[in-house]
């Protein structure tokens, strides 16, 4: 059985300011997770977020739930 490697990408909305995260959405179907890492520290830790939690987070961002007051 071949182990699938994460294919990392940053959002097209990311500027080159350095405060970015990368995700590997290619593991959703096979593992049910979305790995997340700091784009400045690619050899650093990876946070594996369950698909449902990541979807809820994205929906919250799109709804403005995390906007500063």
**Amino acid 69: pLDDT:** 67
**Is 51 or 4 the better-scoring residue by pLDDT?**
51
Residue 54, pLDDT above cutoff 90? yes
**Amino acid 59: pLDDT:** 96
> What rounded mean pLDDT belongs to the chain?
88
Residue 1, pLDDT above cutoff 50? no
DSSP string, 38-67: ETT-TTS--EEEEHHHHHHHHHHHHHTTT-
- Tell me which H or E stretch contains 28: helix 28-31
Token representation of residue 53: 């939690």
Quick one: average pLDDT of 26-39? 93
> CA torsion, points 12, 25, 23, 50, in degrees to nearest 10?
130
């Amino acid at each position: 059985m071949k182990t699938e490697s994460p294919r990392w990408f940053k959002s097209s909305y990311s500027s080159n300011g350095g405060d970015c995260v990368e995700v590997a959405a290619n593991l959703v179907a096979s593992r049910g997770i979305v790995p997340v890492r700091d784009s400045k520290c690619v050899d650093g830790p990876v946070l594996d977020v369950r698909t449902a939690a990541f979807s809820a987070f994205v929906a919250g961002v799109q709804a403005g739930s995390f906007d500063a007051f």
